[in-house]
Structure formats: C-alpha cells, structure tokens
Amino acid sequence: MSEQVLPTSCDVVVIGAGLAGLTAARALTIAGRSVAVLDSSDDIGGRVRTDNVDGLLLDRGFQLYNPSYPEGAHILDLKALDLQPLTAGVIVSIDGRNYRMGNPKHEPTWAVDSLLAPVGPLKAKMGFAKYAAGVALGGEKSDAIDQRTDAFLNFKFGCEITSKLLRPFLAGVFLEEELATSKRFLDIVLRSFVHGTPSVPRYGMQEIPRQLAAQLRPNSIFCNVEVSAISPRKVTTSQGTIECSAIIVATDANTAEKLVPAIKAPTMNSVTTWYHLANCAPQDLTKGKGTLVVDGKRYAGHQPDPARPVVNTVAISNAAPSYASDGRVLVSSSAVGLHKTFEAEKAIRSHLANLYGVSTSDWECVAAYPIANALPAMLPPHVVKQTSRIVDGLYVAGDYRAVSSINGAFASGRRAAEALLIDGL
C-alpha cells in the first residue's frame, strides 16, 4: 500500500480493495494495464479483515475459506496460506447431549452418532446425504424455476431434519434464519462442502487479500481515499482527480449504488461475532477438535428461541492454534443480526455453557464485531452471473453480482476485468 500522492492518470481505476477489486486489479496488471486501486478504509480486504490483538488473531466476523473454490485455485498460493481445516462435520446439541454429524468417509468414528442422532428418520438423513453427493457430482441440477431453500428442504426431506439439523447449520452459512435463500445458492454451497473442508489461513483470513495485493505493482493501492463521484474516464476523490480509460466499481453494494444509480443493491444480512478466551484446556471443548457446534433446538418453535441466540460456535484455536498464542483457547461464536449490548453477551455466554457443557462464567470476552452488511442476500430467483459491464468504460464487481462467497467475489472480479479487456480498454 502507498501513502504517496494519487496519480493524476492511469489506465484503470478500481474502486474498492476487497477481494473482487483486488482480483480484478491482479488480472489487469497481468494484462499490462496500469491500475490504481482506491479504498476508503485504512487497510485492504473489505469484509475480509483480521485484527491481531495481544497474540490473538480475530477475523472480523466468522469467515472460512474452502480450498475447493475453483477461482481461488488459479489466483492464490494455497500452500503459502497454510490452511488449517476445521473438522469436516458439525456437532448438533440437543437436550444437553452433543451428536457428531458428518461424512463417515472423513470422520469414521462419527458413523454411529450420525445414524442415531435424533434429528430425523434415517431415510431423511440418507436422502439428504445422497442429494448432497449428487449435487457435488453434477447429477443433481438446480431447478429451472428457483425456489426458497426452506420450501425445498421441508418438502424433500421433512420438517424434523430441516428444523433440527439443516436449518441450524445453514442459518449460519446464509446469515438468515428463515432459509429464504435461493436453492440455486444452496446447491453451490453443498457442492463446495462436499469437495473441500472449510479452513482458515494460519495467520488469519486477511492473508487472502494480502496475497492478492502482493501480485500488484508496488504503490498501486491507496487507502483512506473517499470517492465522491465518477464520470466517463474520470474519478473524483478526497485526494484529487484521476483521469483513466476505464473504471471498475468493486465496493460494497450500497456504495456502488450511490456511485452508479443503475446498480440496485440487494438486501444485506447482518451478523455479530464474539471472541472469548475460554478458561479451560483445548481438550475440554469438542474433544480438542475445531468442530462447528449448532443448537438443534433453536428452531423447535415457529420463531427462533431467544434463549438460544448462538447460531454457531467453534473453538477456532483447536483448528488453528496460531489464532491464540501461548496455548490459549479462543472461541468464535456468532448470532444472526446486530447485538451490541452487555446483556446480549451475557446471553451468548449462557448459551455457550449449554452447548459446550462447561462453565463459561469466567470466560473473557476479548472482542465483539457487529457487522451490518456481512453478506448479500441471495433470494430467489437468483441470477448467478450478472453482467459486469454497465457501459463501455464502466464495470462493476462484487460477490453480490455472483454468489455471496469468497469464490463469488473472485469470479466477479475476474469477469469485470475480462469484460474491460474484451472492450479493448
């Protein structure tokens, strides 16, 4: 990143130094274009940021990287990221007992729990496993007419497995609890989970944008720069005006809509993530493994149980010990929506005691991240590939233009760069 004065001209201005913007800038740099990347924040990454606080790595919100993402395989050095995988499965807490649910191929000792867990009839479990495998192999096709995920799951597999297993898990993936999300997006998610195990880079999620930034020319990224207006071939900022041949708007959706009225921002889902230092041994939480825990009773009624606010939780340092120095145990827990009060943290702590079966009264809350615009809603009918070109010379990128995932951000950035190059700019 550079603190130098902005250039007065370049080939392309990319507005936004998140994953989509950096991916676009990388492709354009390789193609020989001079690029200036502008961002209003104090650092790169957009929504993918990591704070290092007293030897703790705190990702801003619970985020994971799936090594099966096809776009990432082409632009990232996964070996250098040193991905630390979570357990390939999930623990479902029901009435004080934890049941381990997962593919026996990855976790053979979980087979009995997976079969006996009271989350629905065996036929429903086997049916869902077969469906997920079919999606992963390309045998199952998304419906020509898109539908809501909840409607599909309830009809196809039944209400019990949906409310006790699938909804608790997917609510934390979609960051919305009604499962109003597109079934087309569900299928994309299932495919990625079957092909790869969600992980975190050894030194935090922000290593991903940092690796992309390292592939750009030196002094081509400018932070703390507010863009106030764009027009054909010109970008007006808080630090001056840049003349250019083309512009890629790769900001968040709401900012993009302000800069380019033709863009219509989707609804954004929110989340709050808490980090606690647990006063116990790593082995005391999920047997020392980094396994995601969800509550199978949270959706027992018509509305989510307010006494069970945690949508998912994981002892993240069990998966990646580098996230907490000196052998400390760091727990990441999330709740859908924005929760800023002291009482909210108390409720989270109480729920965690139930989920983990240990006392949490002396757990230290080291950080809380209420994130208002955490994930674009993927509501049906969802168009997986939206156009990048607004007009010649003006392009847009962002996961909301593809699918709301890291892979979607990469793909959107690549498509914007390709459209620009096809136009000969």
Q: Closest Cα partner for 48 from 81, 74, 91, 86?
A: 81
The reported pLDDT for the residue numbered 1 is 47
- In this model, does residue 279 exceed pLDDT 70? yes
Nearest to 10 by CA among 221, 225, 255: 221
pTM of the entire predicted model: 0.96
| H or E segment to which residue 119 belongs | none
Share of the chain above pLDDT 90, in %: 91
Question: 9: which strand partners?
Answer: 243
- Dihedral in degrees, nearest 10, Cα atoms 317, 320, 323, 328: 40
Asked whether the predicted pLDDT for residue 384 surpasses 90, the reply is: no
For residue 224, which of 61, 52, 44 has the smallest C-alpha distance?
A: 44
300: which 2 tokens?
């027992």
DSSP state of 238: T
In contact, 202 and 84? CB cutoff 8 Å: yes
pLDDT > 70: percent of the chain: 98
Which of the four pLDDT bands, split at 50, 70 and 90, describes residue 339? very high
Lowest mean pLDDT among 93-107, 112-126, 409-423: 93-107
Question: Which residue matches tokens 């496993």?
Answer: 129
Angular region, 374: left φ>0, alpha ψ -120 to 50, beta rest = alpha
pLDDT, mean of residues 291-309:
95
pLDDT(2) > 80: no
**CA dihedral sign, ordered 107, 112, 113, 114:** positive
Q: Tell me the mean pLDDT in the region 191-196.
A: 94
Provide Rg for the chain, Cα atoms.
22
The secondary structure of 369-394 as a DSSP string is EEEEEEEE--PSSP-SS---EEETTE
Do the Cβ atoms of 149 and 170 come closer than 8 Å? Answer: yes
Supply the angle between the helices 167-174 and 149-157 in degrees, to the nearest 10: 160
How many residues in total does the chain contain? 425
Look at the block and give the residue holding tokens 């209003």. 40
Q: How far apart are CA 328 and CA 281, in angstroms?
A: 8
Q: What pLDDT was estimated at residue 105? A: 76
| Total Cβ atoms within 10 A of residue 112 | 11
- What's the rounded Cα separation, in Å, for the pair 115 and 194? 19
pLDDT in tens, 60-75: 999 999 999 999 999 9
DSSP string, 319-355: H-GGGBGGG-EEEEEEEES---SHHHHHHHHHHHHHH
User: Which residues lie closer than 8 Å to 36 by C-beta, 6 or more apart?
Assistant: 6, 7, 10, 12, 13, 14, 220, 222, 242, 244
Sequence-ordered list of residues with C-beta below 8 angstroms from that of 144, at least 6 positions apart, any chain = none
Q: Measure Cα distances from 1 to 32, 214, 217, 386 in Å.
A: 19, 9, 10, 30
Structure tokens at 384: 């997986």
Which domains are delineated in the chain? 9-48+206-265+383-422 (3.50.50.60), 53-201+268-376 (3.90.660.20)
Give yes or no for residue 372 having a pLDDT over 50: yes
Q: Which of 38, 32, 31, 7 is nearest to 250 (CA)?
A: 38
Scan for tokens 């790769």, then name that residue.
250
Mean pLDDT of 369-397: 95
What separation in angstroms does the CA of 126 have from each of 130, 183, 197? 6, 19, 20
pLDDT, one tens digit per residue, over 127-174 is 999 999 999 998 666 567 899 999 999 999 999 999 999 999 999 999
Instruction: Say which residue the tokens 């087979």 belong to.
Output: 111
Cα 156 from Cα 300, distance rounded (Å):
19
Q: What is the mean pLDDT of the chain?
A: 95
Closest alpha carbon to 88 in 194, 214, 236, 233: 194
Whether the predicted pLDDT of 400 surpasses 60: yes
Q: How far is CA 87 from the centre of its chain?
A: 17
